Amino acid sequence: MSSPGLDRPIKSGDDFVRFAGLEIELKLRIAVGNRKNFKGVLQGLRSGIVNTPDAKFSLLFEASDG
């Protein structure tokens, strides 16, 4: 997942909070609904779920250290 300004990747839960409200590009390794690339506004982080009121889906993920 990349933040606005692709030189600042979002890696931690704190990053999800800090970049909430900004447009992001999401590039997945495994397709969701035949898509790997998404753009949208990051609404925040709640219990490991990236959520947005306009989303057609939610992503549940497990954080990793690297």
pLDDT of 46 above 60: yes
Q: Which residue has the tokens 């990051």?
A: 42
* pLDDT: which is higher, 64 or 19: 19
**Neighbouring residues of 9: CB distance < 8 A, sequence distance ≥ 6:** 1, 2, 3
Q: What is the pLDDT of residues 27-45, one digit of tens each?
A: 888 887 898 888 888 777 7
What is the model's pLDDT at position 65?
A: 52
Integer Cα distance of 21 and 32 in angstroms: 23
Query: What's the whole-number average pLDDT of the chain?
Result: 70
What is the model's pLDDT at position 58?
A: 57
Domains of the chain by residue range:
13-60
Q: Is 65 exposed, middle or buried (0-12, 13-18, 19+ CB in 10 A)?
A: exposed
Whole-structure pTM value: 0.54
